Chains A and B, each alone.
Chain A
Amino acid sequence: MANQIDGLKDALVGLDMYKVLDKVKAGLDAGVAPMDMVKDLQAGMVEIGDRFARGEYFLSELIMSGEIMKKAMALLEPKLAGVDQEYKGNIVIGTVQGDIHDLGKNIVAMLLKGAGYNVIDLGVDVPAEKFIDAVKENQAPLLAMSVLLTGCQDPMRDIIKAVRDAGLDVKVLIGGNYVDEKVKEYCGADYFGTTADDGVKVAKQVFGA
């Protein structure tokens, strides 16, 4: 049965959208467990993330693979109901209040999912309460906040303060093009990231896996 999905991972890594979708459809028709296909696709995303880290892939490849992944998951998700997926841990992610840029956040979320984490994506323009509720509800050890506009770094600081004041035991990662050590200190975050694969690096540290 595995034959149907041989090369699924490679097709994704090679960004061959039609091949990926054909293989997923063929796999479903042949009764391949959807979870096995998800695992192959995740392995593909990990490989894509590694290639990005090595400078072989660029954002265009990450975005294209994300679009393929979206289309493939649209076929697979209806068949996944009732199947328990094992995760390395919960991560809450979102773009901070006042900012609606989601390119970086989406890519980081996609790579984290690919690496086997359960990512709770709150979207854009997310206020403090929403972050806090999601961290509590999911007992997430890692909260990742994205910001592009430098003018929204102040609200980010306020959100982090609110998270700390709520007494939550959570590590905070901030990410964005204009984020650096200075911004991290100013906002009181634990980690900062500027490139797509930094999220996975930090998650590995936080979760030890």
Chain B
Amino acid sequence: MSDKKILYQERLNRFITAMDVGKPDRVPIRLTLSEFLAKYAGYTLQEIYYQMDKNIECSNKFIQDFDVDTVPGPPSLWMGGIHDATGAKYLKFAGRELEKDKQFQFLESDYMKAEDYDDFIANPTKWILTTLLPRIHTEFKDPYRAHLSLIKGAAGMVMNQGMLAEAGKRWAEEYGIFPPFSGMSKAPFDTLGDVLRGLHGIMMDMHLCPDKLLAALDVLVDHNIYYGMATAAGDTTLPLFMPLHRGSYPFLNPEQWDKFYWPTLKKVIEGLWKHGKRTLFYAEGDWTPYLEKIAELPDKSIVFHVDMTDMKKAKEILGGRFCLSGNVPNTLLTYGTPEEVSDYCKKLIDEVACDGGFIMDAGGVVQWDAKVENVRAMIETTLEYGVY
């Protein structure tokens, strides 16, 4: 076996052992870096939003320079070109209507109206294609441009997937490293609440049309399981990325959480687990009040990621049954000193990672404001101090 293959296997074992709540040789490091990577690699945000080769190059640069267990990034999930091809009304990109180093902006709105529920429930795929996409894109004004935009959008997606697959091979062969997850999906409540109804829309629906909302959430369960497995191309080694939004405290009151947020999310996670697919429960914000509920999930079926959730309680309630990750505060990475970052990581290693089942990461996705020396301190401390 080549050195890189050995390294790959070592890292993968370390990562999987931790996800299985075991004690590897040392605490694994997964970094969830976004625009930070562009800055580090010396690209503008316009370049990484638009040019997929540069987007991927950001990750290459980082893994050449740092010893981490999984590939961070690529920083941009947004393919500017595809959104121009369709004329996305809901996105503003660096270098187009924004200055070339500004973060993209997603304009949230109720793109799906309350009146759309019946059609959505009847056949969501058809509704998205025939009603939603023409509504939120400017290129659907005549059949010629509409067909063209869909062809270009699909082609763009395939090209990007091809480049990522190629990059994945190179990361494995040349650097002995793999991406931190495969596939993505969402909580049904977030699928509806993020892009479709918007936050205000879904909050009103809970009061004004709860039955329709519940019916739509139910319809989404199978779709979200399928979408997760399909985007993972069937892989069950790495966890599925699931960014969780509206379930964090204090968005919903406890009855709403129990009634609208949790039941369908639980079904999606359990459905994925039946396929052998573990979920990276990327809990943005604070989830402390819901830890007991989350503990109802099958052992090891998630990696519970801690952003602002109380880490001590998370360990108390979920530890031993689920791997935990994260929690190095993003504000510390921006405003703190390397010593402070190092101390925080040591504390996490002593108090949380001590029994295994822990992956080092920042609390939230790291944007361009983090200091390089602080990211370095996080990695070096884990490499030295995180040895079991």
A and B, direct touch (CB closer than 8 Å): yes
Listed in ascending order, the chain A residues whose CB lies under 8 Å from chain B are 15, 17, 52, 55, 57-61, 63-64, 67, 98, 100, 103, 125, 149-154, 177-180, 182-183, 186, 195
Would A63 and B199 be within 8 Å (CB), given that A98-B102, A150-B330, A178-B364 are in contact?
yes
Q: Does the CB pair A17–B105 fall under 8 Å? A: no
Q: Does the CB pair A98–B103 fall under 8 Å? A: yes
Would A63 and B336 be within 8 Å (CB), given that A58-B250, A150-B330 are in contact?
no
Cα distance, A154 to B35, chains bound together (Å): 15
Residue-by-residue, is B178-217 near A (CB-CB < 8 Å gives 1, otherwise 0)?
0000000000000000000001100110111000000000
Q: Does the CB pair B369–A150 fall under 8 Å? A: yes
The listed residue (B252, B331, B364) touching A60 by CB distance below 8 A is: B252
Q: Does the CB pair B330–A67 fall under 8 Å? A: no
Q: Does the CB pair A100–B105 fall under 8 Å? A: yes
The listed residue (A59, A149, A153, A183) touching B251 by CB distance below 8 A is: A59
Listed in ascending order, the chain B residues whose CB lies under 8 Å from chain A are 35, 102-103, 105, 107, 199-200, 203-204, 206-208, 249-253, 256, 285, 308, 330-332, 334-336, 364, 367-369
Question: B206 — which chain A residues lie within 8 A by C-beta?
Answer: 60, 64
Would A151 and B367 be within 8 Å (CB), given that A63-B200, A100-B107 are in contact?
yes
Q: Does the CB pair B331–A154 fall under 8 Å? A: no
Q: Does the CB pair B331–A67 fall under 8 Å? A: no
Q: Does the CB pair B208–A17 fall under 8 Å? A: yes
Q: Does the CB pair A153–B105 fall under 8 Å? A: no
Q: Does the CB pair A154–B369 fall under 8 Å? A: yes
Question: B331 — which chain A residues lie within 8 A by C-beta?
Answer: 150, 178-180, 182-183
Cα distance, A13 to B308, chains bound together (Å): 30
Q: Does the CB pair A67–B253 fall under 8 Å? A: no
Q: List 16 A-B contacts (CB under 8 A).
A: A17-B207, A17-B208, A58-B252, A63-B204, A64-B203, A98-B102, A149-B103, A151-B35, A153-B334, A177-B308, A178-B364, A179-B331, A182-B331, A183-B331, A183-B335, A195-B250
Cα distance, A60 to B205, chains bound together (Å): 11
Q: Specify the main secondary structure of chain A where it touches its partner.
A: helix
Question: A195 — which chain B residues lie within 8 A by C-beta?
Answer: 250
Question: B200 — which chain A residues lie within 8 A by C-beta?
Answer: 63, 67
Q: Does the CB pair B199–A103 fall under 8 Å? A: yes
Question: A63 — which chain B residues lie within 8 A by C-beta?
Answer: 199-200, 203-204
Would A182 and B253 be within 8 Å (CB), given that A103-B199, A151-B103 are in contact?
no
Cα distance, A100 to B334, chains bound together (Å): 21
Give the Cβ gap from B327 to chain A, nearest Cβ, in Å: 14
Instruction: Please name the 8 residue pairs, one residue from A and one from B, whose CB atoms are nearest each other, closest first.
Output: A151-B367, A58-B253, A63-B203, A151-B369, A182-B335, A58-B250, A59-B251, A100-B105
Chain B CB within 10 A, most for which of A58, A63, A150: A150
Cα distance, A98 to B100, chains bound together (Å): 12
The listed residue (B253, B285, B308, B334) touching A61 by CB distance below 8 A is: B253
Q: Does the CB pair A67–B204 fall under 8 Å? A: yes
Cα distance, A98 to B103, chains bound together (Å): 7
Question: B103 — which chain A residues lie within 8 A by C-beta?
Answer: 98, 149, 151-152
Residue of A nearest to B34 (CB): A151
Cα distance, A98 to B335, chains bound together (Å): 19
What would 8 more interface pairs be, CB under 8 Å, given A64-B206, A67-B203? A58-B250, A60-B206, A60-B256, A61-B253, A98-B103, A100-B107, A150-B367, A182-B336
Q: Does the CB pair A57–B253 fall under 8 Å? A: yes
Cα distance, A178 to B331, chains bound together (Å): 7
Question: B334 — which chain A residues lie within 8 A by C-beta?
Answer: 150, 153
Give the Cβ gap from A60 to chain B, nearest Cβ, in Å: 5
Question: A180 — which chain B residues lie within 8 A by C-beta?
Answer: 331
Give the Cβ gap from B240 to chain A, nearest Cβ, in Å: 25
Chain A CB within 10 A, most for which of B249, B251, B256: B251
The listed residue (A59, A100, A151, A179) touching B250 by CB distance below 8 A is: A59
